[in-house]
Structure 1
Amino acid sequence: MVDKILSIFGSGNSSATNYPSDDQQQPFDRLRRSPTVELIEDSPKYRSFRGRVALKRLSLDEDCTKAWSYHECGPREVRCPMVFLPPVTGTADVFFQQVEYLAERGYRVISAEYPSYFTMEEFCEGLLRLLRYFKVKQVHLFGASLGGFLAQKFAQYNPSVIASLFLCNAFGDTSRFKFVNTVPLVWLAPAPLLRSYFITKEVPEDADEQIRAAAHFMSSKVATLSQADLLARLTLNLTSDYVRPERLQSLAITVMDVFDHCAHSSSTRLELYKLYPSARRAHLKQGGNYPYLSRPEEVNMHLLVHLRQFNHTERAACVHFMDVKEGAADLDTSSVEYHSNSLESSVEVARVAEEQIRPPPPTAKAIAERIEEVAVESAAANSDMTPKLVKEAAVPSSANAQVDHLV
């Protein structure tokens, strides 16, 4: 029995031990010793984010031990925010670069870390309670890996609450994973064994320093997850389930993938394309399993492209592109939260709230729209690929066409 448990969390070889070895830790040790790369957890940008934006916890279930953790930025009068859901190994702060980027441009952003839900129904009910707490009309959901699968399932059960979906390295069927339906064995594994599976993930030899830094950062996040959190996420990821896309076809969906080494196989990506034939596609040449950490500029640009289609509508996530009448009616200056230290005085807060009520002058609109146009052109130029590269990425690899891994 012990050998079976170890084989589940190994690298695919049933005879291989699962505990970290010197060879497995070598990529991360080399990264830490490299003088040319800065670890994400040690970067001033990440430390500044954690120092300015509070991590809040909220319990909405009957079981008080289950609490959501979230970062919230941006003007609260926006009733259709962008909500981020992390992957199986992630926490609420893994999207800190997207949260800051969008909040600085007037978007309301919530990065939420879900508690230990063991069933899909439990997760959907919990997320619905969270959105009701924030008093939002609809949301734009960004989901990465498992977070993308959870976002699709939530939209399947609650399509009226979803304004759009942004799926990053996501999947639509859990049966693609190597050890699906092995949940009873997962429950027997101790917490150190569960963590070691994620921490010892191999990094490709040709990966650049940004991808290695992202993998190191995500491995450090695993140590902060409790055994209940790990068991719950693995249970959701390894329980056989799939998305029924019939009720999602009317939604605006963007599917973002990377064309370098990724935990999900090419056949899994093609299956997701088939689920949403009319979805927009955002392709990155490189990025690894965590492009929002290794390629934040490109991901941020694709997010702006995705959200700009809702400008000047009731689904706008940015205060600068909201309908003026709707924004004035819903505005509550007591609920507006600013995270910049320069806006602490009540006089300044009142002035900013008054400016949000007044419609911006035409010149300001023209400048904002022009900035977005330049951003879109820059993202398109950075993501331009040759037809040969696209063709090679679309062909399933014979080595991993039927096997995916958890990230």
Structure 2
Amino acid sequence: MTPMHWLWLGALALIVLSLAVLLPPLLSDQAAASESRNDAVLRRLYQAQWDELAREHQAGHLSAPDRAQAEDELQRRLLAELESRPAQKRWRHWPWLPRASALGVAVLLPVAAFALYLQTGNPEAAARLAQADDVGHGAADAQVEAMVEGLAQRLRAEPENVQGWVMLARSYETLERFADAGQAYSQALLAARRVQLDASVQAQLLADQADALGSAQGGDLQGPAGEAIAEALRLDPHQHKALALAGSAAVRQGDFALAATHWRALLAQLEPGSDIALRVQDDLLKLETLDAPPARPPAAVATNHLSGEILWPASVQAMALPPEAKVFVIVRAPGQAQPVAVLRLPAKGLPTRFTLDAAHLLNPAVALTDFAALQVSARLSPSGAALPTPQDVRSNVLSAKPGAGQLRLEMGGS
């Protein structure tokens, strides 16, 4: 056979393969319809607003009746948006249509393939396809933007709707329109002041506004963002997000001592040993390498540690541990719930020796030598979570003095 014959045979084989892939779904009685890109974006946007209502209710900023009313309004808007879409699934009421489509594909695909072959090398065809795809995506983005703008228009007639302005701000953040989000938070703050919401609510709005403004400025928290942070801390000195942002702003300015002050104030309010507390602790440790505090006396430094061994009995060794499993060595002062220091180790290294020193203190301003006696224990977390769970394996609890070595913590010995 000539090369031309091989070419046509190859084209025929590709057509048969394409039909083998396309025809079975069309001939099936249960064809699955995928959700359109517009609906996916719409549902994600409304889900974010629904979750925001739940967070505001849990924080005590939104009463149960107000939450129910807001959820009803949110559902009505979602249903209205979905019902306004043209129906795209009526073919399910016509059982003959999939089979007719299969027949059409079986006939038209070879014809279309031949036509495409005739246009091979024509760049205008590819350009037209790309242009059509861009138009489709542009239409979807425009529709989402129109939905958000519709919410903004409604809020202009409801200037005291605090939750509405917050939802609009969250929507802008989802679309990465951070400057518009900052303006929406500003409107929410004005509404909160008009209806005389308490200072903690206003401080939260100011912190959110500062975060949005900082994102709009590429992470720069100076100017209006810095003013919002300062006002938030004036209204509520314990506001978590404002303290975190204030520390970040201080680091960008090179004021590590001020950053440490803000982050230590934040750490004191967090659940000891929680993931966020450990992250703040790690950030504080990084600050120490940049701006180390005055050295302690040599005698105190020599005893500002604890060391020993974590044993791994045969009964516990039989456990099948996932790769993310962690062991937490926890040091507490007698009578105090919050740990003094925490050391994290991978469980796969057990049995192992450990040394816990100033780098593992939850509060770098406090040394192990500040306590006459300490309680040392270990906890194995199969999930690697910082918060305790019923599945964790614990060790015995030892009483030790600062500087003690040769400690023996046996997992499963509690």
TM-score range for the pair, normalised by the shorter chain length: under 0.3
Name whichever structure is richer in helix by fraction: 2
With normalisation by structure 2, the TM-score equals 0.23
Q: Considering only CA atoms, is the larger Rg found in Structure 1 or Structure 2?
A: 2
Relative contact order higher in (CA < 8 Å, ≥ 6 apart): 1
With normalisation by structure 1, the TM-score equals 0.24
